[in-house]
Amino acid sequence: MSKTNAVESATDKNELNEFEQHYFNSYDHYGIHEEMLQDTVRTLSYRNAIIQNKDLFKDKIVLDVGCGTGILSMFAAKNGAKHVIGVDMSSIIEMAKKIVDINGLSDRITLLRGKLEDVELPYKKVDIIISEWMGYFLLYESMLDTVLFARDKYLVEGGLIFPDKCSLHVAGLEDAQYKDEKVNYWQDVYGFDYSPFMPLVMREPLVDTVDNAAVNTTKSKLIEFDLNTVTVADLAFESKFTLTAKRKDFINGLISWFDIQFPAPEGVKPVTFSTGSHAPYTHWKQTVFYLNDDLEADSGDILEGKLTCTPNKLHSRDLDIKISYDFKAIGPDAAERSTQNTNNYLMH
Ligand SMILES: C[S@@+](CC[C@H](N)C(=O)[O-])C[C@H]1O[C@@H](n2cnc3c(N)ncnc32)[C@H](O)[C@@H]1O
């Protein structure tokens, strides 16, 4: 059954548009895989979830969507899967082949190169899909589309998806100093006015680690997805949020993060992890949206908003994000501090 000796691509890379080529090229280099493997919150969550569900993996056919170096395929094979099919478009699969071989698993793992959408699997149906598809702000990269394609084409009725639940969250953030350094830097660059850069900087969400002490409002869940039922159309969403200021402080931006949950046997606590600033570091860090206004908040003030997220029309792996907000201050100076605005962002 092993196909690990020939990793010919089912997809001709030259046929892909330049953005798709760039996307898959970014996974060719070992550096990005090193970063993912060394993210122990990420990698051990997958391993723990597979071990916790060992009984369910026993003798099952497993599909690893975007197998990279093959780590998830090997976790599944080591924990009872009858056979694992790992699919990846990037050349990293050549290394996965070597790794699977030297770890003695090539009779249990078949590696296929190509876009999942183009490859022909050696099985008509699989029992379990595993995939690490999450991007910054959960949906950047749009790899979830591929997992849903795999689900609809290959997963048996009642099959499992690891992970199968995810949610996106926001809260308010004080970040005046860094915002000032990033944005106002362009006002005077060696004595020259570079201010045309300022709107570009504001438009780009910032991926960075945030000190949890700087989060100064309650949090709000924007949306959750159940991978067993969600459709690609659902991934373009509009969601309302309400945040309450916890102290007298400026709200300079919104911090966002996502949480992940794996299936668990009946009555057992599922494996979960969070990419929030309150949780241990992950390579996804957090995503910050600076607001045009620096909101002068006091404890109890309300920040109501609406976030719209859609894949960019030109480059579908990029995200267009729009945040409209209505800051409702309370107290004697409420009228001066209250404000409304709409900010547009492009995550690319
Ligand atoms: C985030 S990495 C995860 C790698 C590996 N599963 C791990 O956990 O370390 C995602 C991988 O999916 C691959 N990928 C993304 N979209 C794909 C598609 N449509 N078909 C095949 N591979 C894809 C990328 O090339 C990349 O190696």
Non-local CB neighbours of 7 within 8 Å, separated by 6+ positions: 93, 94, 97, 111, 112, 113
Give the pLDDT of residue 37.
Answer: 98
- Count CA atoms within 13 Å of residue 246 on its CB side: 11
Q: Out of 141, 174, 181, 296, which one is annotated catalytic?
A: 141
Q: Is 315 helix (H, G, I), strand (E, B) or coil?
A: coil
Residue type, 89: M
Taking every pair of Cα atoms in the chain, the longest distance, rounded to a whole number of angstroms, is 75
**pLDDT tens for each residue of 248-270:** 999 999 999 999 999 999 999 99
Q: Which residues line ligand 1 (CB under 6 A)?
A: 24, 27, 33, 36, 66-69, 71-72, 87-90, 92, 115-117, 132, 143, 146
35 is known as an active-site residue: no
Residue 3 has pLDDT above 70, yes or no: no
Give me 121's structure tokens.
């699997």
Residue tagged 């004080």 (tokens): 174
Instruction: Calculate how far, in angstroms, residue 27's C-alpha sits from the geometric centre of ligand 1.
Output: 8
Which H/E stretch holds residue 178? Answer: helix 176-184
Identify which of 207, 202, 237, 204 has the alpha carbon closest to the alpha carbon of residue 223: 237
Mean pLDDT of the chain: 96
CA dist 85 and 76 (Å) reads: 10
At residue 31, does pLDDT exceed 90? Answer: yes
Residue 115: predicted pLDDT:
97
Q: How many helices (H) and strands (E) does the chain have?
A: 10, 15
Q: Which two tokens stand for residue 92?
A: 């990293």
Q: By three-state DSSP, how is residue 185 classified?
A: helix
Reply yes or no on whether the pLDDT at 298 is more than 50: yes
Residue ID of nearest Cα to ligand 1 atom 19: 115
Q: Which residue has the tokens 């102290």?
A: 247
Q: Whose CA is nearest to atom 7 of ligand 1?
A: 68
Of the pLDDT bands very low, low, confident and very high (cuts 50, 70, 90), residue 7 is: low
Mean pLDDT of 183-198: 96
The 10 Å Cβ neighbour count of residue 15 is 10
Is the pLDDT at 38 greater than 50? The verdict is yes
**Percentage of residues of the chain with pLDDT beyond 90:** 94
User: Exposed/middle/buried for 152, CB within 10 Å: 0-12, 13-18, 19+?
Assistant: exposed
Question: Of the residues 18, 117, 120, 132, which is catalytic?
Answer: 132
- What b-and-e string marks burial along 169-182, b requiring 16 or more CB atoms within 10 Å of the CB? bbbbbbbeebbeeb
| Reported confidence tier of residue 79, pLDDT bands at 50, 70, 90 | very high
pLDDT confidence band for 4 (50 / 70 / 90):
very low
Q: For the chain, what are the domain ranges? A: 13-132, 166-347
Q: Which atom of ligand 1 is nearest to the CA of 116?
A: 20
pLDDT at 75 over 60: yes
CA dihedral 186→189→192→194, nearest 10 degrees, is -20
pLDDT of 2: 40
Instruction: Clarify whether 304 is annotated catalytic.
Output: no
Residue 311, beta-bridge partner list: 319
**How far away, in angstroms, is 68 Cα from ligand 1 center?**
5
* pLDDT over threshold 70, residue 91: yes
What's the pLDDT at 142? 84
Distance between CA atoms of residues 91 and 70, nearest Å: 12
Contacts of 184 (CB under 8 A, 6+ apart): 198
pLDDT at residue number 8 = 86
Phi/psi of residue 131, nearest 5 degrees: -165, 140
> pLDDT, tens digit, for every residue of 117-161?
999 999 999 999 999 999 999 999 889 999 999 999 999 999 999
The whole-number pLDDT of residue 6 equals 46
Distance 298 CA to ligand 1 centre (A): 45
Among candidates 65, 66, 64, which has minimal Cα distance to 74? 64
Q: Do domains 13-132 and 166-347 have the same CATH topology?
A: no
Q: Which of 65, 119, 120, 260 to mutate to test the pocket of ligand 1 (most atoms within 8 A of CB)?
A: 65
Q: Could you please state the CATH topology (level 3) that the domain comprising 13-132 is classified under.
A: Rossmann fold (3.40.50)
Q: Is residue 5 over pLDDT 50?
A: no
Is residue 72 within a helix (H) or strand (E), and if so which, with residue range? helix 71-78
Range of weakest confidence among 15-24, 41-50, 148-157, 230-239: 15-24
What average pLDDT does the segment 188-216 reach? 97
Write down the CATH number for the domain with range 166-347: 2.70.160.11
Which helix (H) or strand (E) segment holds residue 147: the answer is: helix 144-154
